[in-house]
């Protein structure tokens, strides 16, 4: 059974749709791009922002960096709190904590914002570490985040580690680091996206995730 669990944040522990999409909309507006449909910005949830601005709005490197600065203008004060914990997640974390599991957050979101969000919702005490990206644009790729989180563990059995996430980046990052991964479809990655990335397991709900991870 798994004793070290790495959790993605957005789309796995919390639902950040309103905060992320409105901040992306704000940033695009500052770049002269009008996007009235927030649902079109849902793909921004999960992947690194640089990737998304370049992929979906064809910004170059400098433009993407400027868009991220605009995004953070709003996100750092308002957007990070436009968020909600998925139902049953606190109970899942409590059950895993009670069994002595080592819980770590591994997210492409900057560490500073991730800590603030988890503190805001009273979930930070469940985690031994909260590992995210750096504000200077380094350690943004999921495989880099996971690699860093694992490097901080010291001695451990790789077969006892699992990543939990809702997007292909979580799955591919885990596989690149040689650990198991479970995809969750209640987040923002479609089942098709997850299946194409070939995780070890796929679950539909937090309750199903609990049945999979909690012993007994």
Within 10 Å of residue 40's Cβ, how many Cβ atoms? 13
Could you confirm whether 8 is annotated as catalytic?
yes
- First CA to last CA across the chain, in angstroms? 11
Q: Give CA–CA dist 37/73, Å, rounded.
A: 21
Token output for 67:
């868009």
The residues, any chain, with a CB within 8 Å of residue 64's CB and separated by 6 or more, are 49, 50, 53, 54
Q: Give CA–CA dist 49/21, Å, rounded.
A: 11
Helix/strand/coil for 102: strand
Q: Give CA–CA dist 71/28, Å, rounded.
A: 8
Helix/strand/coil for 201: strand
Token output for 113:
């914002």
Among 8, 10, 166, 170, which one carries the catalytic annotation? 8
Within 10 Å of residue 77's Cβ, how many Cβ atoms? 9
Confirm if 184 and 209 have CB atoms less than 8 A apart.
Answer: yes
Q: Give CA–CA dist 101/7, Å, rounded.
A: 12
| Catalytic sites, residue numbers | 8
């Amino acid at each position: 059974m798994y004793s070290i669990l790495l959790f993605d944040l957005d789309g796995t522990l919390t639902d950040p749709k309103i905060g992320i999409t409105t901040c992306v909309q704000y940033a695009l507006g500052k770049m002269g791009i009008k996007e009235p449909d927030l649902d079109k910005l849902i793909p921004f949830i999960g992947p690194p922002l640089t990737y998304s601005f370049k992929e979906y709005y064809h910004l170059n490197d400098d433009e993407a960096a400027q868009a991220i600065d605009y995004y953070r203008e709003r996100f750092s004060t308002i957007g990070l709190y436009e968020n909600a914990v998925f139902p049953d997640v606190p109970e899942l974390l409590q059950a895993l904590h009670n069994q002595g599991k080592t819980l770590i957050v591994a997210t492409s979101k900057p560490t500073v914002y991730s800590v603030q969000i988890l503190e805001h919702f009273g979930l930070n005490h469940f985690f031994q570490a909260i590992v995210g990206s750096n504000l200077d644009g380094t350690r943004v790729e999921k495989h880099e985040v996971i690699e860093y989180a694992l490097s901080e563990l010291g001695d451990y059995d790789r077969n006892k580690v699992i990543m939990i996430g809702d997007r292909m980046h979580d799955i591919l990052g885990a596989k690149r680091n040689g650990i198991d991964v479970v995809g969750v479809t209640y987040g923002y990655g479609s089942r098709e996206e997850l299946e194409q990335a070939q995780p070890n397991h796929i679950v539909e709900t937090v309750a199903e995730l609990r049945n999979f991870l909690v012993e007994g």
